[in-house]
Amino acid sequence: MNRLFQADGIVIKCIKLNESDKIVTIFTKQFGKIQAIAKGVRKTRSQFGSSLENLTQIRFLAFKGKNLNIINQTEILYSFFPASKDLILYGIAVQCAEIIDKITIEEDPNENVYKLFSDTLILLKDEQNAILLFASFQWKLFSLMGYQPELSKCVDCSSLIKDDKNYIFDIKRGGLLCNTCQNTKKYYHIILSSYCLKLLKRIIFADLSKIHNKQVLQSGLLELINFTAKYMIYHFEIENHTKQFIDKVKTICQKQ
């Protein structure tokens, strides 16, 4: 990275620094996650306008500093959820940004992760099944980060998994166990229904556009959400608050 550099990125976090400045975290296409200071951004007549708000895709020019970069110019490429009135869609978009922030390290570029993040936010704007899309984002992200689960062979003996009504998934080892290797119950073993397994395979390997607005069994989706939460907590130490968030929003809406 040169001292003066240009990049495209999505703002994933903002922290107030003082009365006029703030620190922004941007997940960029070229350099991965970076932090930068935006001077004067909180002033009424700031040159940055709304370009450094969360979930805004920008092209920016910055100087590389000793500790933090300093943003000099910005241009809005796309604004995700501008003044969104859909709390569920906006909340899930924020959760995507939080996961990106927690799961990535600074200045470790990954264009595939950037594209996944950008595509997910674009599809979310008119998504009819946001929970399914969010689960798809998470599992595709896990796979890109090197944590794709083994869903065809036993993680113990490598034999092919035979069709069944239910399957045993070993969270710790990241894959399915065959009937022979699942005799002993262990803390990290989770039962997956055949429907949930098929759904999981579908969302990992299918393009996001083919998952967009698809309808699935609610029971299978709930099972997938719970499974995803356990997988993410174990491998990334990140809690998934999706179900709690949606339940809370629905309660608020019912009271209005």
Task: Give, in words, the CATH class of 87-255.
Answer: mainly alpha
Structure tokens, 53? 């708000």
Tell me where in the chain the CATH 2.40.50.140 domain(s) lie.
Answer: 4-79
Q: Which CATH superfamily is domain 4-79 in?
A: Nucleic acid-binding proteins (2.40.50.140)
pLDDT tens string 186-239 = 778 999 999 999 999 999 999 998 998 899 998 999 899 989 989 999 998 887
Binned at pLDDT 50, 70 and 90, residue 90 comes out as: confident
pTM for the full model?
Answer: 0.88
**Whole-number pLDDT of residue 246:** 58
Residues 72-109: b if buried by 16+ CB within 10 A, e if exposed: eebebeeebbeeeebebbbbbbbbbbebbeebbeeeeb
Higher pLDDT, 248 or 159: 159
Within 148-217, residue ranges assigned H as helices are 194-205, 208-211
**Whole-number pLDDT of residue 182:** 81
Exposed, middle or buried: residue 48 (CB in 10 Å: 0-12, 13-18, 19+)? buried
Residue 254 has pLDDT above 50, yes or no: no
Structure tokens, 106? 């600074």
CA gap 240, 98 in Å, rounded: 10
pLDDT tens string 100-134 = 999 999 989 999 999 999 999 999 988 888 889 99
Beta strands in 95-212 (DSSP E): 166-170, 175-177, 189-193
Tell me where in the chain the CATH 1.20.1440.120 domain(s) lie.
Answer: 87-255
CA gap 107, 48 in Å, rounded: 23
